[in-house]
Structure 1
């Protein structure tokens, strides 16, 4: 499932390519025909993300709420205007690493797991990219150039497209979301009110206090609380495992038993990691990597995480075998020696 950094990147791309422009809306699949008819011809006025949900505002107070869930995906085609503050870690979008250092063409690093959100050289250019920020998804449909169909405009529909959003120059197709619904402002407000704090939305200090209160009043395992979107927004399996390892916390520790400063440290770590994820397009959770080690980490997720996806392998710190268990039907990776 996409984690918070990916949804923020998609929202920012919508802000760059769609906000301020009239948008055509259709539902090639047919399941969103009524909603598409409401959106069709309206101007998009805002695009924002809170945790794993994205909210697109159109004129006359009409909103589209999208939750990608496990299988949702966006495909962009046409002129993809690249936000200069957001770089793709695979180097195709203007390479920037998590330390803010621009890389030349010769130093580009190509990620092998498709964790990046967009892949496009320059801005604007005609390209076709696949956007589905999950650990299992490949990046480009056509990594070495334009697909033959990109000569057509608008591009032909491929697969089960729930909704197509189209400007004069840019197309965005949505497939397989958990939620894709037109809502009123009051309905959107109620959805957001139920979500936990997001470091990129609102005041970071207020978010920290909300997170602290939500964790320390609960007799629930911290490994469950970090995945509860009403406690904190945007954290999924990868960030959960990595943040707990970085904090040296046993995932089973009840929230109410965790010292205040440790809880505050978790929030502050999430602030840092989320920003890195948005800037690079990857869930980079290891610090202090340089040279070849950094390049390996940017190219492969197996070299940029402490414990995630490392079941049965030795801990990078102490050598203890990394444990894999299920917590609320989701995979949890952790080191029983470092996290106690």
Structure 2
């Protein structure tokens, strides 16, 4: 599932391609036909992301809500758009570009009250200027749930996924199995600031790089990481490999249904 920085990049791309202009909206697959009919020819006023949710607001205050989920993908290109092939749930066509959406977890129209309800149930997004880290801290500091689980809970913090949670916990030297309520406020402030910085860099570059300058392949004289996810990381998907800092074998276990990665030396139990 794409992490939050990817959805913010998608929002920016929609704004560059379609904002301020009428958009042709189609559902070649047929599963969004009624919604496409209501949006067709409307002007896109704004595209924004909150966590992993993409919100496209049109000039009649209709909001198209998209959540990619595990299988959702976007493709973009210049006009003329090719003939639709495969299960294209949504096609947007502007003056010069088109966008095709396949396989999303959600593609639906929301009423104003439903948009508010969605925002209210999501935690703060470190990439949004209106984010309130205090809200996340209140939810974390009262829970016995492991911090690794809480960082993946979109009602606590919206946007981080498996990679960011593993990496910020490593960079902070925190055992991922610690209960949320055992964190100090200073530890939480470090985590939030690091999330905001790393995710903003992900928006800028389109990849997740979490290693500090002294631990890059060039600085350490090591081969670059080869992985479908790309980017240089400390522990994510490096199970049994030596920690880049201490050499201890990176550990992994399944927690709350997801693979967790950490270094038992750099992230010792409290």
- SS across alignment from 1:224: helix
Q: Which residue of 2 aligns with 1:190?
A: 117
Q: After superposition, what is the alpha-carbon deviation per residue over 1:214-248, rounded to whole angstroms, capped at 9, x for unaligned?
A: 11111110010000001001000100110111111
**1:241 and 1:334 in contact (8 A); partners too:** yes
Measured in 2, the distance between the counterparts of 1:260 and 1:322 equals 27
Q: Which of 218, 243, 249 is 1:315 aligned to?
A: 243
Q: 1:293 to 1:11 in 2, by over 3 A?
A: farther
Measured in 2, the distance between the counterparts of 1:178 and 1:234 equals 16
**1:211 and 1:267 in contact (8 A); partners too:** no
Higher relative contact order (CA 8 A, sep 6+): 1
Measured in 2, the distance between the counterparts of 1:52 and 1:183 equals 16
Shift of 1:200: 2.4
Deviates more, 1:280-289 or 1:219-228: 280-289
Q: After superposition, what is the alpha-carbon deviation per residue over 1:39-74, rounded to whole angstroms, capped at 9, x for unaligned?
A: 111111100001111000011110100000001011
Q: Does 1:51 align with 2:51?
A: yes
Shift of 1:270: 0.6
Q: Does 1:237 align with 2:165?
A: no
Q: TM-score, normalised by structure 1?
A: 0.74
Aligned CA-pair RMSD = 1.9
- SS across alignment from 1:314: coil
Shift of 1:168: 2.4
Q: Does 1:179 align with 2:106?
A: yes
Q: Does 1:223 align with 2:223?
A: no
Measured in 1, the distance between the counterparts of 2:171 and 2:44 equals 40
Count residues in correspondence. 265
Shift of 1:303: 6.2
**1:296 and 1:303 in contact (8 A); partners too:** no
Summarize the alignment of residues 14-25 of structure 1 with structure 2, pairs less than 5 Å apart.
Answer: 14-25=14-25
Measured in 2, the distance between the counterparts of 1:59 and 1:154 equals 24
Unaligned runs of 5+ in 1: 80-152
**1:77 and 1:155 in contact (8 A); partners too:** no
Q: Which residue of 2 aligns with 1:64?
A: 64
Measured in 2, the distance between the counterparts of 1:255 and 1:66 equals 30
Shift of 1:202: 3.4
Measured in 1, the distance between the counterparts of 2:224 and 2:5 equals 18
Q: Which residue of 1 aligns with 2:175?
A: 250
Q: Which residue of 2 aligns with 1:287?
A: 212
Q: TM-score, normalised by structure 2?
A: 0.93
Q: Which residue of 2 aligns with 1:336?
A: 264
Shift of 1:258: 1.0
Summarize the alignment of residues 1-340 of structure 1 with structure 2, pairs less than 5 Å apart.
Answer: 1-78=1-78, 153-204=80-131, 207-289=132-214, 292=218, 304-340=232-268
- SS across alignment from 1:201: coil
Unaligned runs of 5+ in 2: none
Shift of 1:193: 1.2
Measured in 1, the distance between the counterparts of 2:204 and 2:16 equals 15
